[in-house]
Amino acid sequence: MTIEHGVSLKKYNTFGIEATAKDYVAIRSHDDLMQLLQSGLLLKEPFLILGGGSNVVFTRDFDGVVVRMENAAVRFGRMGDDIVVAAEAGKVMDELVRECAAKGAYGLENLAAIPGTVGASAVQNVGAYGLEAKDVILCVQAYEIASGKSRTFMNEDCQFGYRQSIFKGELKDKYIIESVMYRLTPTFEPKLGYKALADALAGKDCPTAAEVIDVITQVRWSKLPRPEEKGSAGSFFKNPVVPINVYERIVKDYPGLVAFDAEAGKKKLSAGWMIEQCGWKGRNLGHAGVYEKQALVLVNADGEARGGDVVELAGAVVSDVYQRFGVLLVPEAIIV
């Protein structure tokens, strides 16, 4: 493990925002992680654990240590009829999805092309196209930063919710995830509950895993900017989950409101749709902008955006959506 100083984070965040880390450590192996924990570095200064950097916005230099998880080993095992895949935190999720399908371990397909890493999949409970990481996570193996002790969190210990887990909640900054185990199956069953997906696959009776992965990749890239084209953090806001009466109040005035069923008595509203109604789609403010093909995505419009530009734009969007719909949007992205 090597500690570097004054490292630029521009290439480590998908927004492509310039910021400098006072200290920087890349974790590539179990030994690196043990050395980091034994060094006590994380107890001495502020730290930030970074995966693919696809969900952070840096608003200033980081006066502490940035730990980038680059450990990426993957092991396959059996559990009864199921296949258990243990992947290290730094493994890129999209690569894992494809490797699993190629090896005949199914269940992750709908997360194809999702930005981010395995570690983030557990912290964020990432989700797309009708699948959330929690649906396939068996357990999470992590180390307590204060004691250096290993702990296995079973799925039910992780307090998973919509883009939420114990690692973002109660135990925020208390544990560092080394690996995640997913429980997959040897037989492929497509999950086509998501309309855009079902439409794209209409006409195919029994799509294969490879076909589902291809279609999801196409749908996703038709809505999200290619990182080499424009920086972004995927969806910037969460879709707000509101009580039915709030939904009913809004839909009375806006019959076109896009909403989905959520837990009992609640509806999940499409934040992208509301932002679009406010006229923000494709509009810029300073160096930041709202993506022209998907209004939930904020972008680094000209490659020169600083975190402050993104935060200012986000504030303007939140304010407009609140004024029009009376609903408060909350960022999914982490503002550092």
User: Which residues bind to ligand EPU, rule: CB under 6 A?
Assistant: 128-129, 194, 196, 223, 234-235, 238-239, 258, 270, 272-273, 276, 281, 294-296, 332
Nearest to 298 by CA among 278, 314, 322: 314
Specify the residue, 110 or 141, whose C-beta has the smaller distance to ligand EPU: 110
Helix (H) or strand (E) holding 100: helix 93-102
Q: What is the rounded CA–CA span in Å between residue 28 and residue 238? A: 31
Specify the residue, 194 or 322, whose C-beta has the smaller distance to ligand EPU: 194
Out of 54, 178, 235, 306, the active site residue is: 235
Specify the residue, 276 or 312, whose C-beta has the smaller distance to ligand EPU: 276
Specify the residue, 84 or 334, whose C-beta has the smaller distance to ligand EPU: 334
How far apart are CB 60 and ligand EPU at their closest, in Å?
23
Contact 184, 85 (CB under 8 A): yes
The long-range contacts involving 37-46, CB below 8 angstroms and separated by at least 24 positions, are 37/143, 37/145, 37/148, 37/176, 38/148, 39/1, 41/3, 41/65, 42/67, 42/145, 42/176, 43/145, 43/146
Question: Active-site residue 235, yes or no?
Answer: yes
Q: Which amino acid appears at position 213 of this protein?
A: I
Specify the residue, 281 or 287, whose C-beta has the smaller distance to ligand EPU: 281
Both tokens of residue 117?
A: 């890493």
Pairing of strands 288-290, 284-285: antiparallel
How far apart are CB 193 and ligand EPU at their closest, in Å?
10
Report helix angle 93-102 to 209-223, nearest 10: 160
How far apart are CB 258 and ligand EPU at their closest, in Å?
4
Pairing of strands 62-69, 20-27: parallel
Nearest to 113 by CA among 216, 7, 241: 216
Question: Active-site residue 332, yes or no?
Answer: yes
How far apart are CB 144 and ligand EPU at their closest, in Å?
28
Residue 220: phi, psi to the nearest 5?
-65, -45
Q: What is the rounded CA–CA span in Å between residue 82 and residue 313? A: 46
How far apart are CB 61 and ligand EPU at their closest, in Å?
25
Out of 98, 163, 183, 306, the active site residue is: 163
Both tokens of residue 10?
A: 């521009």
Specify the residue, 24 or 237, whose C-beta has the smaller distance to ligand EPU: 237
How far apart are CB 145 and ligand EPU at their closest, in Å?
26
Helix (H) or strand (E) holding 67: strand 62-69
Could you give the residue numbers annotated as active site? 163, 235, 332
